Homo-oligomer: A and B are copies of this chain.
Amino acid sequence: METTEASNTFGGNLLVAQSGGPTAVINSSVAGVIQEAGRHEDIEEIYGGLNGIYGILNEELIDINEEKAKSIEALKHTPAAALGTCRYKINFKTDPDQAAKDMDRLFEVFEAHNIRFFFYAGGNDSQDTSHKIHEEAIKRGYALRVIGVPKTIDNDLPHTDHCPGYGSVVKYNAATVMEVGADVGSMATDDGSCCIVEVMGRAAGWIAAGTVAAKREEDDAPHIILLPEIRLNEETFLAKVKETVDRIGYCVVVAGEGVKNAAGEEIGADKTRLDAFGHPVLSGAADALKDLVQAKLNLKTRTVKLGYAQRAAAHYASAIDSAEAHACGVAAVKAAMEGKSGMMVKLVRLQNEPYQWGTALQPLEDIANVEHFIPRAWITPDGMMPNENFIKYVAPLIQGENPVPTEGGLPVFAKLEKVKVEKKLAERTL
């Protein structure tokens, strides 16, 4: 799948863009791409695509060389997607006509701006998009090097040991569970109480499982972790809540948002609730579990729903995660300069204690549309807690603090100037 040109005869402009839900460290990957690109003379201009493919189709490019070097450096601790992101896909399955039209337009944009290096940071869908662009370039005979940069808090990409973005969401969520556990535990007096913390993760439970890191001692929170991979056995779950409250006075439950009932349906997607306007509403996993605990155990239950806060929590990001995200960006550029294309950078665990890691490449075709789940052997028999195997896996990923400067007591994040590159094409027609 590699292009065949020798790297010394190849040059042009670089385009980097971001896709899908942001993470606390996806900007660190972009910084890696930009900082490494600056070291290579064969790369002429460095452009950023605004809002991923969606913006690129509209020829929305910015000139990264207009940005201050310190702004690029500050991307290492800046959450969200500094270049903007999108959920837009070039989807040959659901709408082949639109997809073909999009592909034509994309290569018009690439050609108009002499884009010869394309780096797309994202999850499953985005790696699929990169793969399609890579194949299309070969088909068209357009000289282009495409390297995917992994990103996802969900940690559900195959072949890579883990995904940049995952360590930071786990670090923040685990710290939050420690703090909430201390709070609920100190309130547990006469009536005992239960707190359910809902975290992201629709299909795979890596994020929920990661909060096990908060557990230094047997009785520490979380006391139960519910994963989307394991169907909820209500009886066993309620018995464990009750046993925990009877023993230590309280119970902290972490639930992945995609937790499923015995029938395999998401418990949070139950639509029997109607809102004030008569529309069915999703209760969400935590509220559904709260209803259950309150109804069956008559136990005061509170919920915490971290939502976007967890994936944007740069103020408590993992230093190792940010460093790995940056290294993925650097490795992507190096790979392209070596003539590679159609690859995704992956993280490789070289050694666990002390933790050593590196980057390598995996063909994009191996990545696209494959989801990676927690092995059953990493979960206790009752399905409600990750075991030692998982703990060994996750522990190194949350190490170290990634310092964020403050002003007036609050974080200071990078703000890009976003100087637009002059458009050369007519407006996109839909």
Task: List residues of chain A with CB under 8 Å of any chain B CB.
Answer: 18, 21-22, 51, 54-55, 78-88, 171, 174-176, 178-180, 182-190, 195, 197, 213-214, 270, 272-277, 279, 281, 283, 287-288, 291-292, 294-295, 302-309, 311-316, 318, 395, 398-401, 406, 408-411, 413
In whole Å, how far is A63's beta carbon from the nearest beta carbon of chain B?
A: 19
Known interface pairs A81-B187, A406-B401. Does A313 touch B179 (Cβ–Cβ under 8 Å)? yes
Q: Which one of B195, B281, B314, B401 lies within 8 Å of A179 (CB-CB)?
A: B314
Contact A178 B413, beta carbon cutoff 8 Å:
yes
| Alpha-carbon gap, A86 to B189, bound state (A) | 6
Task: Closest B residue to A296 by CB, please name it.
Answer: B277
Contact B281 A411, beta carbon cutoff 8 Å:
no
Contact partners of A409 in chain B: CB under 8 A: 171, 213, 318, 395, 398-401
Contact partners of A292 in chain B: CB under 8 A: 276
Contact partners of A413 in chain B: CB under 8 A: 178, 182
In whole Å, how far is A164's beta carbon from the nearest beta carbon of chain B?
A: 16
Contact B305 A175, beta carbon cutoff 8 Å:
no
Contact B287 A182, beta carbon cutoff 8 Å:
no
Known interface pairs A185-B80, A189-B88, A190-B54. Does A275 touch B275 (Cβ–Cβ under 8 Å)? no
| Alpha-carbon gap, A189 to B178, bound state (A) | 36
Task: Closest B residue to A81 by CB, please name it.
Answer: B186
Contact partners of A176 in chain B: CB under 8 A: 309, 313
Q: A interface, by DSSP: helix, strand, loop or mixed?
A: mixed
Q: Which one of B186, B288, B408 lies within 8 Å of A22 (CB-CB)?
A: B186
Q: Which one of B178, B306, B311, B411 lies within 8 Å of A411 (CB-CB)?
A: B178
Contact partners of A398 in chain B: CB under 8 A: 408-410
Contact B54 A189, beta carbon cutoff 8 Å:
yes
Contact A179 B312, beta carbon cutoff 8 Å:
yes
Task: Closest B residue to A401 by CB, please name it.
Answer: B406
Contact partners of A178 in chain B: CB under 8 A: 410-411, 413
| Alpha-carbon gap, A180 to B312, bound state (A) | 6
Contact B309 A179, beta carbon cutoff 8 Å:
yes
**Which 10 pairs show the lowest CB-CB distances between chains A and B?**
A80-B182, A179-B312, A304-B307, A398-B409, A275-B291, A81-B186, A183-B312, A80-B186, A305-B305, A277-B295
Query: Can you identify 9 A-B contacts, CB atoms within 8 angstroms?
Result: A80-B183, A84-B186, A85-B187, A85-B189, A175-B411, A213-B410, A270-B276, A281-B291, A315-B316
Known interface pairs A305-B307, A307-B304, A398-B409. Does A312 touch B81 (Cβ–Cβ under 8 Å)? no
Contact partners of A401 in chain B: CB under 8 A: 406, 409
Contact partners of A276 in chain B: CB under 8 A: 270, 272-273, 283, 288, 291-292
Contact B183 A311, beta carbon cutoff 8 Å:
yes
| Alpha-carbon gap, A272 to B408, bound state (A) | 43
Q: Which one of B88, B186, B288 lies within 8 Å of A190 (CB-CB)?
A: B88
Contact B179 A79, beta carbon cutoff 8 Å:
yes
Task: Closest B residue to A307 by CB, please name it.
Answer: B304
In whole Å, how far is A389's beta carbon from the nearest beta carbon of chain B?
A: 17
| Alpha-carbon gap, A78 to B186, bound state (A) | 12
In whole Å, how far is A49's beta carbon from the nearest beta carbon of chain B?
A: 12
Known interface pairs A275-B291, A316-B315. Does A304 touch B302 (Cβ–Cβ under 8 Å)? no
Q: Which one of B78, B79, B179, B283 lies within 8 Å of A275 (CB-CB)?
A: B283
Known interface pairs A182-B413, A187-B81, A399-B409. Does A295 touch B275 (Cβ–Cβ under 8 Å)? yes
In whole Å, how far is A283's beta carbon from the nearest beta carbon of chain B?
A: 7
